[in-house]
A and B are shown apart, each in its own frame.
Chain A
């Protein structure tokens, strides 16, 4: 937890407010996040910025397991690490998430 010392968790809503496998944009302070709920109920929070050089959002991608296919260029992104899968390259900034009593908390 040393790396998260300075991290502060913000309440991002009830888990039910996130549709399974459909992303939703969450704005915390001046950060825009794309939050995904996978089919097993895990929540991932990513910076809502496509790692593709042309940018664009991520929230509207297709979610499969713990992978995201980005909505504009169809890059495959690992939600655990934010790493773009070969043959493409790049990394998305991911944020820590915890769920307590059905409440989603995201650390900035």
Chain B
């Protein structure tokens, strides 16, 4: 420890405390910092616990500052240590064990605890709050042993907990006192839509229910309500609210209301003692979200380091529910009252709702459901207290069909305004990172500043800032050399090909200065693909730039034999075809016939030189099991045979497969089509998953069951088959044009954002048509590769037959 530095003690190793420390470290090195935290972990991102519960993140993923970080900055961290009081006469903090540590300044950042309803039985086993890693672990364990869970509280936290438990396989009922879910963030309309949507996702609800008692022996077995009705359950999560942790402050004689009372510089009633975060009460308000605590932390950091700062004047808070497929957003004032002018639009078919509240024509709040594309924009306008104008109205509410767009600039945003609420990143930090570090993509900004790292809600604004700072140099997507042969990014290469009209991989590498003149196994196939995507009619495919499978139109196996997979449109075949497949398998002595995950037959172990004969005798279209192209369209039985089916999934599957087969895509591509929401063909793990419903189809995109499993996102619903085909085409072409080579849609959707894709293929009708035209044009150029190879006998020999040297030397 450094004797002449001021001793700064932080009580609470959570999000507020550490973000304040981060700010202080940026401003000054005059403090010798010691942090105390009750939890046995370094600082982690509490809001991501919902993802841990849901299974999409692990606890390791959500650590914000690991132990090295503390070491690097010379911060002494005491985990598993609770402070009980501050003694101002001796200037010491005292731990629960009675140890004392001196301080010059103290920041209390103790956060809050789950509020546990004081009903009889609340202390039984199997009753938890949802606050920290320990709670999360209890839930993960419970889900392994028990079936039924009840979540008391239908707010943000309760719903996220409920979704997580459903995901873990439990049968979950949300018990809510009010008639409306998230009544503190949503108006009754949005709330009702939310409930319907969550019911679709398998959550049950018991509304207007007041918990009177938890039943059971040692362990909870049920809930009795005020009306004497009973809900049986094995597990109860209380998510009814939070209670600021003010114990330390009270013991130390600080002024405490609901929270620890502070002034506009986060100063408590005791000299040299400050407080930030959820434990704090400022101008009568205790906040329960992260954005305010970052704003508070920033002001406190400046104040404590003696840097001039504006006072903290409170925060406008926004809410976003972190449940996939359920987009809900609210900001500012959201409940109608007589002094508001309300602009609203509710669409029961698309299940979207948008409401903007004005007071004296100033925007003061908004609620969005179903489509939250405009959330970032609205949040900004409301912070700026923007006045509603005709132009703004048109851009926000749309003028008739598809007329929707144009964001106002981020220019007017203050430098210290928080852009990423989850991680407390300001506009200034992002702008600095872009200019000082030369960043050119959202991914780089994420790596450098942490913005967009959590809920992703701030991504549109981050993108706008990037665009604004870079001006003309802005290119969408990541700038990364695509391989070791070049420093150019995918987007730059594609732009150069278009601009300079480059025709072959060799030309591209030559003109764009590759450092290995013929490229490598990474860039050659990629460039070959980009060339074909840009000029489908004139590009001559380069077999030598194709990976072996695509060159041979069969899948190489580890012993050098190949697998042949004929097409079976929509997974449907005929007895005649089966017979032929069987005969040929016998004749060519294939090692195995395997039913694949995509509903067709693999003939495994065909010798290379036999491939053309096998194709000829099969006389079936190639299944493209080897290609970066449409592989299979998995279908369920559908309305032709299934008693639940509302749509003819088999026919639609076959139609889509016929329409889009053979086209080169950035990566392999799979579809599933289901006749009804029972989803027997598992569309949630497909690039495009289609679910039939009574009035049409719902389209999901970006699913993946492979290396990095990902559930598909709901993109939109359509009413007719024509619309369905058109949207599928537009999605595929947009993906063709914007994805990196080998980038699956699961990564693509995450990189470019569901909203962006929706804006292009769903909302922008003109662009959708244009995409469809381009894919139709490309589709006109394709041809079955097996037939093509069979026609070209000479090439076929050179490609498939070896040379046997029998002659003597």
A residues adjacent to B (C-beta < 8 A) = 8-13, 17-22, 24-29, 35, 39, 54-57, 60-65, 67, 69, 71-72, 74, 76
Contacts and interface: CB of A to CB of B under 8 A. Distances in A.
A65 B515 CA distance: 12
Contacts of A67: 516, 520
A22 B802 CA distance: 12
A57 B544 contact: no
Interface stretch (B94-102, B401-409, B433-441, B546-554): B546-554
B161 to A, nearest CB: 45
A12 B807 CA distance: 9
B594 interface: no
A98 B524 CA distance: 29
Contact of B560 (A27, A28, A57, A69): A57
A67 B3 CA distance: 62
Interface in B543-575: 543-545, 547-548, 551-552, 556, 558-560
11 contacts: A19-B798, A21-B544, A22-B798, A24-B803, A35-B803, A54-B558, A57-B560, A62-B521, A62-B525, A62-B544, A67-B516
A10 B807 contact: yes
Nearest to B558: A56
Contacts of A54: 558
Contact of A60 (B516, B518, B552, B559): B552
A22 B801 CA distance: 12
B544 A19 contact: yes
B556 A72 contact: yes
A58 to B, nearest CB: 9
A21 B545 CA distance: 9
Given A24-B803, A55-B558, A71-B556, 17 more contacts: A11-B809, A12-B803, A18-B798, A19-B543, A19-B795, A21-B544, A24-B798, A26-B802, A26-B803, A26-B804, A27-B803, A28-B805, A60-B548, A60-B556, A62-B521, A62-B544, A64-B519
A62 B558 contact: no
A55 B561 CA distance: 13
A65 B506 CA distance: 11
B55 interface: no
Contacts of B560: 56-57
B517 interface: yes
Contacts of A61: 521, 548
A11 to B, nearest CB: 6
A60 B520 contact: no
Interface of B: 506, 516-521, 524-525, 543-545, 547-548, 551-552, 556, 558-560, 608, 795, 798-799, 802-805, 807, 809
B548 A71 contact: yes
Contacts of A55: 558
Q: Most chain-B Cβ atoms within 10 A of its Cβ — which of A21, A62, A71?
A: A62
A14 to B, nearest CB: 10
A19 to B, nearest CB: 5
A27 B544 contact: no
The 4 closest A-B pairs by CB, nearest first: A69-B521, A25-B802, A21-B544, A60-B548
A91 to B, nearest CB: 19
Contact of A22 (B517, B525, B799): B799
Given A64-B518, A64-B520, A56 B559 contact: yes
A26 B544 contact: no
A62 B809 contact: no
Contacts of A8: 809
A10 B808 CA distance: 7
B556 A20 contact: no
A30 to B, nearest CB: 11
B802 A72 contact: no
